[in-house]
Structure 1
Amino acid sequence: MNGYVGITDFEWYSFLRSRPHWEEVNFWQPSAHGLLDPPPGMPFFFKLRSEHGSPIVGFGFFSWRTRLPAWMAWDTFGEANGAPERSSMLSRISRLRRDQNIDPTGKYEIGCLFLSDPVFFPQALWVKPPADWPSSGIQRGKSYDISVGEGKRIYLECQARALELGIERSAEMVMPKGPDDRYGMPRSIRPRLGQRGFRVAVGDVYGRMCAISAEHSLPALEAAHIRPYAEGGSHDISNGLFLRADIHRLFDQGFVTVTPDYQFRVSRRLKDEYENGRVYYDLEERIRRAGGIHIPKDPANRPEQELLRWHSSERFVA
């Protein structure tokens, strides 16, 4: 099993280290090109640059990769981008891109790696860098087999530090204790997306297009939970729909639903209570003629039929 040692910005690390526990963070790169594509669950180790001694200062677990407009990365992750405010994040991106002028709108794309259950070590617990790290030529990072050699050493030391800090969840995700081994052999477990990652991942699998209206204007679109998280739902992609904001609100309030056969239905209440809603009834008819809503190509990412059945029976009022 491989892990990845990624060169990490000191400001990013310092800011996140100074805050309470994070469910997930965005390890972004200033360019959208050459984005790493690791398998879900792969350990990702944070390594500072040589001016700080090149230590390993923490780790997390890869959960999702994408390219996002910088404004959306901030709107979605906020301080979990490793910056106190949007302007400081955009300024840092501009400096790393060597742009002469800071784009205040953040419309350009950046590369984003979402990392679950990150751990950030205080300086006293920093881990020595790989002894075989090349002296030059590494721009972003390097993969290591974490079952042998330096990769295994870093892996074990990082897990030990996490346990020392009382953060067992991260350690147990890939290193359960065994009878003959203090930690057990590495094993990959797919980490769950958090609320922030869910919002982006659902949009990605729908091609950033509303499943109902086919709207493509990204600022007007949102990821909806079919079964709310507060009511036993999860942040799994199969519990999501990508919807225009107005349709999302109607969906949450039970004025509209999506049936298990992917049809869009609109409640009579919309007309009875507000004497309006023609645009939604027109959408209902259009989708009926089309044979159903827009759904992801990969069956694993499609809305779970049992969850749609729950919404149609428990939330929607015909």
Structure 2
Amino acid sequence: MKFYAGATDNSWFNYLSRISPEDVNFWQPGGNSAFKYLQPGEPFLFKLKRPYHVIGGLGFFSSHTFLPLNMAWDVFGEKNGCASFNEFKRSILSYRTDKENSNPTIGCIVLTNPIFFETQDWIPVDQFMSRTGIVQGKGFDTAVTGSELWTQINNTLQKYLPSNPVFTENQFISKESDWPGYGKSVLQKVRIGQSAFRVLVTDAYSRRCSISGEKTLPVLDAAHIKPYNEQGPHNISNGILLRSDMHKLFDTGYITITKDYKVEISKAIKEEFENRREYYQYHGKELLYLPGKEVDKPNQQYIEWHNSIFRG
């Protein structure tokens, strides 16, 4: 099994440990290289910077993406590790040379289910990582050199696991069976949060509205096909990327999609709002954009649920 120890800003860690979010943005101020070391569900350790040299917690890798600074705030808000956008902007620009660029693109390592250890449980890493020469972090593989460190991490994690987690299988990023040899590992209990869901759906649809093809990122929303409050999971297959106005119409049953991925527009839009052109041009047409992976395409059971609220 692979895991990664990322050099972690102490103020980022301290802020997020106080609010205990469901997912976080471990941001990269440069925004010029993709993070490819981990697969979804694998652990990303928080290796605190000076004066500490310890593992203070971890999150579980969901995905990596690039976002303009303002969009990173829109998607994650305080889960960027700051209380305000201005504070977040100052943090990013302090690491960049192009300080005149007020909205640079940054890298976003999206981590879900973060766990922040109490100070007494921090794990020293002097024997595993040098105090110098490691700027961003270090990757480990339990089959090579990482087994001893992971054993310490896994033992500490047991203290922080809920005794009876209420997670459904289709919310997992990974399952325990994917990681043989680690007993009752926390890896079984990883699920995707709201911000992680938004990033995954946005990138799965190539940052295009699936109906209109709109590509202006600030007006694109990751919509649930079956709402989360109706037990719809944060899965890509329960998501669809829509322009914000279409998202509202989709949520309220004025727009739906069929099981063969065609668009249905309710006649109620015309009857209630006297709108003939803007939306009816899409009626009966196939979705312009769908995820490349078959497993990520809209799930038939979620489509069926959404059809049940369609206004016809």
Interval of TM-score (by shorter of Structure 1 and Structure 2): 0.7 to 0.9
SS in 1 for 2:283: helix
Q: Number of matched residues? A: 300
Which residue of 1 is the match for residue 46 of structure 2? 46
2:123 maps to a residue whose letter is V
2:290 maps to a residue whose letter is I
Question: Residues 62-81 of structure 1 correspond to what in structure 2 (within 5 A)?
Answer: 62-81=61-80
> Is 2:297 the counterpart of 1:295?
no
Which residue of 2 is the match for residue 315 of structure 1? 309
1:301 maps to a residue whose letter is D
Which residue of 1 is the match for residue 121 of structure 2? 125
Which residue of 1 is the match for residue 235 of structure 2? 236
CA offset at residue 296 of structure 1?
1.8
| Cα distance per residue 1:205-252 (max 9 Å; x no partner) | 111111111111111111111000111211100001100111111111
Q: Cα–Cα, structure 1 residues 53 and 87, in superposed 2: closer, same or farther, change >3 Å?
A: same
Question: Residues 38-187 of structure 1 correspond to what in structure 2 (within 5 A)?
Answer: 38-49=38-49, 51-101=50-100, 103=102, 106=103, 108-146=104-142, 151-165=146-160, 167=162, 184=183
CA offset at residue 278 of structure 1?
2.1
CA contact (8 A) 2:54 2:122 kept: yes
CA offset at residue 130 of structure 1?
4.4
CA offset at residue 164 of structure 1?
2.9
Question: Which deviates the most, 184-193 or 221-230?
Answer: 184-193
Q: Cα–Cα, structure 1 residues 174 and 257, in superposed 2: closer, same or farther, change >3 Å?
A: closer
SS in 2 for 1:303: coil
> Is 2:265 the counterpart of 1:269?
no
Distance 1:303 1:190 in 2: 24
CA contact (8 A) 1:22 1:80 kept: yes
CA offset at residue 138 of structure 1?
2.0
The TM-score with structure 1 as length reference comes to: 0.86
CA contact (8 A) 1:263 1:293 kept: no
Distance 1:164 1:256 in 2: 47
SS in 2 for 1:59: strand
Distance 2:140 2:62 in 1: 18
1:134 maps to a residue whose letter is S
Question: For the pair shown, which has the larger CA radius of gyration, 1 or 2?
Answer: 1
Which residue of 2 is the match for residue 18 of structure 1? 18
Identity of aligned residues (%): 38
Give the superposed CA RMSD: 2.5
Q: Cα–Cα, structure 1 residues 268 and 185, in superposed 2: closer, same or farther, change >3 Å?
A: closer
Distance 2:117 2:78 in 1: 18
1:221 maps to a residue whose letter is L
CA contact (8 A) 2:113 2:192 kept: no
CA contact (8 A) 2:175 2:189 kept: no
Distance 1:66 1:120 in 2: 23
Distance 1:134 1:306 in 2: 51
1:219 maps to a residue whose letter is P
SS in 2 for 1:96: coil
SS in 2 for 1:124: helix
The TM-score with structure 2 as length reference comes to: 0.88
Q: Unaligned regions of 5+ residues in structure 1, if any?
A: none
Q: Cα–Cα, structure 1 residues 292 and 112, in superposed 2: closer, same or farther, change >3 Å?
A: closer
